[in-house]
Homo-oligomer: A and B are copies of this chain.
Amino acid sequence: MTDIAKVCNDILEFIDQHDNYLITTHLSADGDAYGSALAMAYFLESKSKQFTIVFHDQEKEEKYDYLWGWSLINPYCDEKDYHFDAAIIVDVPSRSRIGNPAQLLPSANHCIKIDHHPEEDELAILNLVDTAASSTCQLVYEIISRSDVEISHQLATLLFSGIMYDTGRFSFSNTRARDFEIAAHLTSLKVNPSEVANHLFFNNNVESFKIIGYGLSNIETFLNGKVCVIFLPYSVMQKAGQLDIEELTNYSLAVKGVEVGLFIRQVEPDFIKVSFRSKGKVDVNKVAKVFGGGGHVHAAGCRTNGDPLELRDKIIQEIEKQLP
């Protein structure tokens, strides 16, 4: 039995032995976090287990409302009297990235973790952590496909969504043959790839395009074109409000000769959010960590205070250290 098969079986046994689960994930949950958390919830429901899904985020992203279980997700609430026998932690490498729901975790020997980020904190007694996996949803698929739970259309859509999201539509450097194999299986279970893509990627507001247009027309390159920066100042971010302008992150990398793309937005006058993308030569997880963030080799993020253009220059200096 391979390691992954063994851990999957251990996790299935653990789940059989416990009830009343907390399911949680990282701050600013993304497509893979929603997909993997809800797929595990679906699995627990199929097993007639009790569960509560708690995300740090106070606002759920509406674009994920097509997913089974979206309405079951709760934001963390200070005043609630939570009690859990066990927890399933998905798509998050560290306690700090969980946010408030971390306070609700039972002791590590009552926790399972499923993730594809480099592990930072030991949170669980059972860990299916594979940094080579495209997505946490891929790993959840490895578990559930070994169980006696049938993969329904709803469950297949959850798993497919996470894989499609985290591989950037099968285009990022984490995409492997295994992802296509799983996608073939899930599509044969009537998942509609274009419907999922429409929800995840083609669901923009016309107003968000005006902001994206602004970002693109002000794109800049550094280090002989190896680094591409899209910057939205506070004046533009105020107009952006809750609009989805994340596609600019991918655009920052979509330039010939660019190795690293940065999407920097000045969310508040003194608060900056940065998304990092790499074509592979530069480990942007390392770079993001210098600024208190993290993620993967090819995709990472950080949030910090200060002046955005000073920050930009410091980030570029960090990237330069990794370039030949």
Contacts and interface: CB of A to CB of B under 8 A. Distances in A.
Interface of A: 164, 167-178, 180-181, 183-185, 187-188, 192-194, 197-198, 201-206, 209-210, 212-219, 221, 225, 228, 250-251, 253-256, 279-280
Contacts of A197: 168, 170-172
Given A216-B212, A221-B206, A170 B169 contact: yes
Given A168-B197, A206-B225, 20 more contacts: A168-B169, A170-B170, A171-B194, A172-B197, A175-B193, A177-B184, A177-B187, A180-B181, A180-B187, A183-B184, A203-B255, A204-B254, A205-B256, A206-B255, A209-B219, A210-B216, A213-B213, A213-B214, A213-B216, A213-B217
Contacts of A216: 209-210, 212-213, 216
Contacts of A170: 164, 169-170, 183, 193, 197
Contacts of A184: 177-178, 180-181, 183-184
A236 to B, nearest CB: 12
Given A180-B181, A180-B183, A180-B184, A219 B193 contact: no
Contacts of A210: 216-217, 219
A173 B194 contact: yes
Given A170-B170, A213-B213, A187 B193 contact: no
Contacts of A175: 187, 193-194
Contacts of A169: 168-171
A205 to B, nearest CB: 6
Q: Which 7 A-B pairs have the closest CB atoms?
A: A213-B217, A213-B216, A171-B197, A180-B184, A177-B187, A169-B169, A202-B254
Residue among A201, A219, A256, A280 with max Cβ neighbours from chain B (10 Å): A256
A174 B192 CA distance: 10
Contact of A204 (B176, B192, B212, B256): B256
A192 to B, nearest CB: 8
Residue among A176, A204, A279 with max Cβ neighbours from chain B (10 Å): A204
A219 B173 CA distance: 32
Contact of A213 (B193, B215, B225, B255): B215
23 contacts: A168-B169, A168-B197, A169-B169, A170-B183, A171-B193, A171-B197, A171-B202, A173-B192, A177-B185, A177-B188, A180-B181, A180-B184, A180-B187, A181-B184, A198-B279, A203-B254, A206-B219, A210-B216, A212-B213, A213-B214, A213-B215, A213-B216, A217-B217
A298 to B, nearest CB: 8
Nearest to A190: B177
A217 B193 CA distance: 29
